[in-house]
Amino acid sequence: MGGKRLLRLVYTERVGGSSPSPTTGRSIRFLGLAFALALCALLLPTGVLADAGSMTFRVEPLQTGGCGARCPNVIVADGVIEVDTPQAFVEFLRSDSTDPKLRRFVFFNSRGGNVDASIVFGHILRELKVTGVVGRVEGGTVYVGKCLSACVYAMMGTVRRVAPPGSEVALHRMSTVVTESGDWSGPTRVTRSVADAPMVAVLKRYARRMGVSPALVAAAESLPPDTLHVLTREEMRRWSFATGQL
């Protein structure tokens, strides 16, 4: 099959804890999950990367299990999480809220982005009881994806988190990079600062509230600033982050 692997995904586990207080005054709802997803025989080729630009949202059909005209639609979130991403997601839902096939599934494919925005995004996802999957959907086919760095904190907010085999979830230490240009004869200076203890404490409380072990945050903040650590299946299980099956 030209390097493509045949996978069977079935519902087995719910990951996630309490429901935090709403972070937005708007009341937005997905249509109910009347359609029981039978995610089987999905093709997930390797090597699909997130777009380099800001995160965009689109609706894609999920064609699986011979569902035909009853196939549901899901949301694909692709790109970098920016400061305005949570509001962009809210506006996106407003425009597609009348879709009778739209289900509470968001497929993440992201290199990361802004941590504060990712936390806000995560609260919105929890309020809406969204299931998060690391991957992307194109033409009804599910492909592997990546959820790196700050994307992990956005996905924490989903009530059920799935990282199918082949998809990658990776931790990265929070840091801020400032570039200062010198004069015409001087070099450009780049300085990097890591998160302070209060911010790390905020992330740990957020993780605990979302049903994820704060040890995941501690592991991320123990990494060298330029290092990505891809989570193993055992780490995702131990820290209650994700399962490999829906």
Predicted confidence (pLDDT) per residue in 212-237, tens digit? 999 999 999 999 888 999 999 999 99
* Angle (nearest 5°) at CA 37 between 141 and 88: 65
Q: How many CB atoms lie within 10 A of CB 202?
A: 15
Question: Would residue 105 count as lying in a domain?
Answer: yes
138-157 mean pLDDT? 93
* Number of structural domains the chain divides into: 1
Question: Which of the two residues, 68 and 126, has the higher pLDDT score?
Answer: 126
109, pLDDT greater than 50: yes
How confident is the model at residue 159, as a pLDDT? Answer: 96
For residue 42, give its domain range: 6-16+36-171+229-238
Question: Would residue 142 count as lying in a domain?
Answer: yes
Look at the block and give the residue holding tokens 């991320």.
Answer: 220
Residues 152 and 231: their CA atoms lie apart, in Å, by 11
Residues 158 and 131: their CA atoms lie apart, in Å, by 5
How confident is the model at residue 134, as a pLDDT? Answer: 96
Tell me the whole-structure pTM to 2 decimals.
Answer: 0.75
Residues found in the chain: 246
Question: Would residue 208 count as lying in a domain?
Answer: no
DSSP 109-166: EB--B-HHHHHHHHHHHHHTT-EEEESEEETTEEE--EEETTHHHHHHTSSEEE--TT
Question: Which of the two residues, 16 and 234, has the higher pLDDT score?
Answer: 234
How confident is the model at residue 100, as a pLDDT? Answer: 78
How confident is the model at residue 35, as a pLDDT? Answer: 31
Question: Would residue 209 count as lying in a domain?
Answer: no
Residue 107 belongs to a domain with what CATH number?
3.90.226
Question: Would residue 118 count as lying in a domain?
Answer: yes
How confident is the model at residue 103, as a pLDDT? Answer: 87
Eight-class DSSP state of 22? P
Residues 86 and 211: their CA atoms lie apart, in Å, by 21
47, pLDDT greater than 60: no
Question: Would residue 243 count as lying in a domain?
Answer: no
Could you tell me the pLDDT band of residue 48, with boundaries at 50, 70 and 90?
very low
Could you tell me the pLDDT band of residue 78, with boundaries at 50, 70 and 90?
very high
Question: Would residue 162 count as lying in a domain?
Answer: yes
Question: Would residue 214 count as lying in a domain?
Answer: no
